Amino acid sequence: MHNSILIKNGHIIDPSQGIDSIGDILIEDRKIKEVRLQPNKRQGEVKVKGQIINADGLYVFPGIVDMHAHLREPGFEYKETIKTGTMAALKGGITSVCCMPNTNPVNDNRTVTEFILKKAYAEGSCYVYPIGAITKGQKGEELAEMGLMYEAGCIAFSDDGRPVVSTLLMRRALEYSKALNVPIISHCEDISLSDSGTMNEGSLSTKMGLKGITYAAEDIMVARDIILSELTGGKLHIAHVSTEGSVRLIREAKKRGINVTAETCPHYFTITEDAVANYNTNAKVNPPLRTQRDIEAIKEGLKDGTIDVIATDHAPHHGDEKLQEFDKAPSGISGFETAFSLSLKLVHDGVLSISQLIEKMSYTPARILGINAGTLKVGSQADLTIVDMNKEFKVEATKFLSKGKNTPFEGWILKGTSVMTICRGKVFDCQSFIGG
């Protein structure tokens, strides 16, 4: 007895196979059974005994692979749980979530890794891939048990939220990454230079009376880690690129053949430091929002392939935490439910083609991480999202499925959104959660 779903007449985009065509997709037993493209009419209609989804006028993409997110469990369940986070992810068209290790306890050993995976299997709505800590407790003093965590299921390592200050430890981590063939995801910040700053350093920070973080705090660590990647041959991935200088350094490193990839997030190519005016803590992120010049550099980096991936850096916080004074409020945006629609603006504005966007949000992150996702190839797991490119909706944080309602995009009208996501053979109706 087969569990079958037929998606009919959708505009299928699959960069992994170079597909950009109207067609049908047949799913059986959670896997892609057949992709039939028009105008190959001679093959006749696909017939199925099961659910039929009419995707006429809609786009069908591989499910988004978010290689940078925070699910907060274990330890911070009041901010988010694996259950609520993965539901929010599905609503945003995301079928694979890679969760950072800054939980409590920190995911720096196989016991925590196994807990996350068991919890995700029992309560998660999509696939969850743990990212282990580089150092024990993310303290930057001693390498964590990377080999054991890799065996337990970690697909990358990062001290995200904190840089690995010791250059020697970072060198060793990259050497391990080469042996394990997994990326080291680097949070690039020279904390002696950022010096407890809370926003971008410039005239606005001076006017607001807040300590700023210079662009150089990021650029210096990007340069260091590129040098270490060249030294070791380790697999380096730069997280949440926010500065013009980082883009330039990564571009030059790639030209020299260094093993480096990079990501940015929708807020870094959508809004500037002006979003924190009036001490708006919902726009407080780390690294901080920068300037229009940085935004233009990031867009150019996305366009020319310097920046490989768009990730969410989904970082939910409790409302009370964001209500504190700007200096005390935690950094982070609840990003699962707005990331794709914000990124789609790059297509509407002519920065990327739709195929290039899907490649950066699905196929490429899966390839960097070495996970079985990001494709609609026959035989692959049936993780995909169906999108209405013209549907407009208003961002209303109270309607987020995430516990985190912290977004600087409240009230924005966005164009294009997932209307249905399929993962693990289950169909998730996104529209019923956005008033569509």
Report whether 232 contacts 171 (CB < 8 A). Answer: yes
Report whether 338 contacts 430 (CB < 8 A). Answer: no
- CATH class belonging to 62-367: alpha beta
Instruction: Choose among 182, 205, 179, 90: nearest CA to 130.
Output: 182
Report whether 100 contacts 160 (CB < 8 A). Answer: yes
**Is there a binding annotation on residue 286?**
yes
With cut-offs at 50, 70 and 90, classify the pLDDT of residue 433.
low
Mean pLDDT of the chain: 96
Q: Is the pLDDT of residue 224 over 50?
A: yes
Q: Is the pLDDT of residue 43 over 90?
A: no
Q: Which long-range contacts (CB under 8 A, 24 or more apart) does 276-280 make?
A: 276/199, 276/204, 276/208, 276/326, 277/204, 277/208, 279/208, 279/325, 279/326, 280/408
Q: What is the pLDDT at residue 42?
A: 56
Q: Is the pLDDT of residue 41 over 60?
A: no
Q: What is the pLDDT at residue 360?
A: 98
Q: What is the pLDDT at residue 3?
A: 80
Q: What is the pLDDT at residue 434?
A: 44
Q: What is the pLDDT at residue 435?
A: 37
Instruction: Choose among 335, 243, 321, 336: nearest CA to 281.
Output: 321
Instruction: Write out the catalytic residue numbers.
Output: 313
For CATH 2.30.40.10, the residue range(s) in the chain are 2-58+378-431
The string of pLDDT tens digits covering residues 54-82 is 999 999 999 999 999 999 999 999 999 99
Q: What is the pLDDT at residue 431?
A: 78
Q: Is the pLDDT of residue 413 over 80?
A: yes
Q: What is the pLDDT at residue 127?
A: 98
With cut-offs at 50, 70 and 90, classify the pLDDT of residue 48.
confident
Q: What is the pLDDT at residue 2?
A: 64
What distance in Å separates the CA atoms of residue 376 and residue 86, rounded to the nearest whole number? Answer: 21
Average pLDDT over residues 193-217: 97
Q: Which amino acid is at 143?
A: L
Second-level CATH architecture of 2-58+378-431: Roll (2.30)
**Is there a binding annotation on residue 372?**
no
Report whether 104 contacts 133 (CB < 8 A). Answer: no
Q: What is the pLDDT at residue 40?
A: 57
Q: Which long-range contacts (CB under 8 A, 24 or more apart) does 359-362 make?
A: 359/15, 360/302, 360/307, 360/308, 360/309, 360/310, 361/64, 361/65, 361/66, 361/309, 361/310, 362/15, 362/61, 362/62, 362/63, 362/64, 362/65
Q: Among the listed ranges 40-49, 63-72, 127-136, 215-224, which one has the minimum average pLDDT value?
A: 40-49
Q: Is the pLDDT of residue 191 over 70?
A: yes
The string of pLDDT tens digits covering residues 306-331 is 999 999 999 999 999 999 999 999 99
**Is there a binding annotation on residue 219?**
no
For CATH 3.20.20.140, the residue range(s) in the chain are 62-367
What distance in Å separates the CA atoms of residue 342 and residue 265, rounded to the nearest whole number? Answer: 10
**Is there a binding annotation on residue 71?**
yes
**Is there a binding annotation on residue 313?**
yes
**Is there a binding annotation on residue 259?**
no
Map residue 168 onto helix, strand or coil: helix
Q: What is the pLDDT at residue 432?
A: 74
